Amino acid sequence: MRTGFDAAVIGGGPAGSAAAAELAGRGLAVVLLERDAGAANRLCGEFLSPDGVASVRALGGGELLHEAGAPAVARWSVAAGEREIRGEFAAPGAGISRRRLDPGLRAIAAARGAEVREGCRVTAVEPEVAGRRIVRIAGDEPLAARAVLGATGRGARVPGLTPERTRKRPRHIALKAHFRGAGIGVVRVFALRGAYVGLSPVENGETNVCLLASRSAFERAGRDADILLEAAAQRSSLFRSAWRGIERAEPWVSAAGMDWSRRAPVGPAGLLAGDAAAEIAPFLGEGMSMAMESGRLAALWTAAAFSGAGAGPVSIAAYSRQWRRRFRGRLRTGRALHGLMLSRHASAAAVRALGLVPGAADRIVRATRAELIGECP
């Protein structure tokens, strides 16, 4: 089995798979290392924005969404109390579960020439020696790579790859589950009391329900998502009509804490992408799309370094600047809107105000979307 590569990508989610596909497509020897084997049920809103659909197609996965049965999502709505605003995306997005998207993206990376290894838990990345880094893998031979990209997701800590962060008591709880019954072509978000919830159609005629709640709101409901959402349905007829039209088909998947603290898109071993670099507030529905976008961006800068267009600290500094230009505004918007959505009164006032100004909500939606990613300067 090969042990030497141009690039090792750690993490086989949307960010890592996109990075591996981009690098392999440029003729580099790439290995993609994913901790889980097969399809994993990730906590995620499972809405692929129009930008994400464009990224999948740019990677050569034009048939992935069709083969997965991912429904097109052309419209959005945001509701608070008894008020709701609606709009349309400039192009259709898609609803697809991580159980279908992640293996599909890894298959795209493999088809473009990346070596994909599942069930590989990376335990450490060692400092560079003679132009190579050593990637340690639990129960397997180590690998050597000229470049290492970290796409390990929200909470993973790999010594030598991801920077250490101060652990704080999480202020939020996130949960998701699939429900039987589907909306038709629309992703809906409801502001609740100390929480908000998104409903997005996915494959197999199901709806993905993704809930984010403050710790206090979750504890008031006895740490039970069904009780929290049923209480919200009692208070809002808009939410009640959506909530009582679907039936839970699987157990809730939960995670403690969502982190929007300042992060750097560069770690000790090299470039970071996806949630390893920064996590966008789930209200915006941009998580999967931004992950792929940042993975592709990291890959482009890595490929540029190999080609001689940049190397070492100069390319890293340039990557950091471009990463911040592309994502900082969206991350700030997400943090601000997240705070509004957790406040019942503030969210109702915001929805009411946006409803009075034609086109205001659409402008906010457009401000959170990306321009098409291109080659690095």
pLDDT at residue 311 greater than cutoff 70: no
Backbone angles phi, psi at 337, to 5 degrees: -70, -35
Class of domain 4-167+258-367: alpha beta
The angle at the Cα of 31, spanning 26 to 32, to the nearest 5 degrees, equals 105
Q: What residues have CB less than 8 Å from 311, skipping those under 6 apart?
A: 305
- Taking residues 325-342, report their average pLDDT: 87
Q: d(Cα 283, Cα 295) in Å, to the nearest integer? A: 21
pLDDT, one tens digit per residue, over 155-193 is 778 999 988 766 667 788 999 999 998 778 899 999 999
The whole-chain average pLDDT of the chain stands at: 88
Higher pLDDT, 251 or 170: 251
Q: d(Cα 61, Cα 164) in Å, to the nearest integer? A: 35
Residue 14 pLDDT class (50, 70, 90 cuts) = very high
Per-residue model confidence (pLDDT) at position 54: 92
The angle at the Cα of 362, spanning 357 to 363, to the nearest 5 degrees, equals 85
pLDDT, one tens digit per residue, over 231-248 is 999 999 999 999 988 999
Helices assigned H by DSSP within 121-271: 215-220, 225-235, 237-243
**Residue among 86, 162, 36 at smallest CA distance from 358:** 86
DSSP string covering 113-124: T-EEEES--EEE
**From 206-215, 230-239, 262-271, the region with the lowest mean pLDDT:** 262-271
Q: Parallel, antiparallel, or unpaired: how do β-strands 195-201 and 186-191 relate?
A: antiparallel
**From 38-42, 51-55, 113-117, 188-192, the region with the lowest mean pLDDT:** 38-42
Per-residue model confidence (pLDDT) at position 352: 84
Per-residue model confidence (pLDDT) at position 150: 95
Residue 147 pLDDT class (50, 70, 90 cuts) = very high
Containing 107, the helix (H) or strand (E) segment is helix 98-111
Helices assigned H by DSSP within 262-311: 287-307
Backbone angles phi, psi at 97, to 5 degrees: -75, 155
pLDDT at residue 118 greater than cutoff 60: yes
- Taking residues 89-94, report their average pLDDT: 92
Per-residue model confidence (pLDDT) at position 377: 41
**From 5-9, 202-206, 332-336, the region with the lowest mean pLDDT:** 332-336
Per-residue model confidence (pLDDT) at position 30: 98
The share of the chain scoring above pLDDT 70, in percent, equals 90
Backbone angles phi, psi at 197, to 5 degrees: -140, 140
Say if CB 329 and CB 371 are below 8 A apart: no
DSSP string covering 181-220: S--SSEEEEEE-SSEEEEEEE-GGGEEEEEEEEEHHHHHH
Residue 279 pLDDT class (50, 70, 90 cuts) = confident
pLDDT at residue 11 greater than cutoff 70: yes
Q: d(Cα 281, Cα 276) in Å, to the nearest integer? A: 14
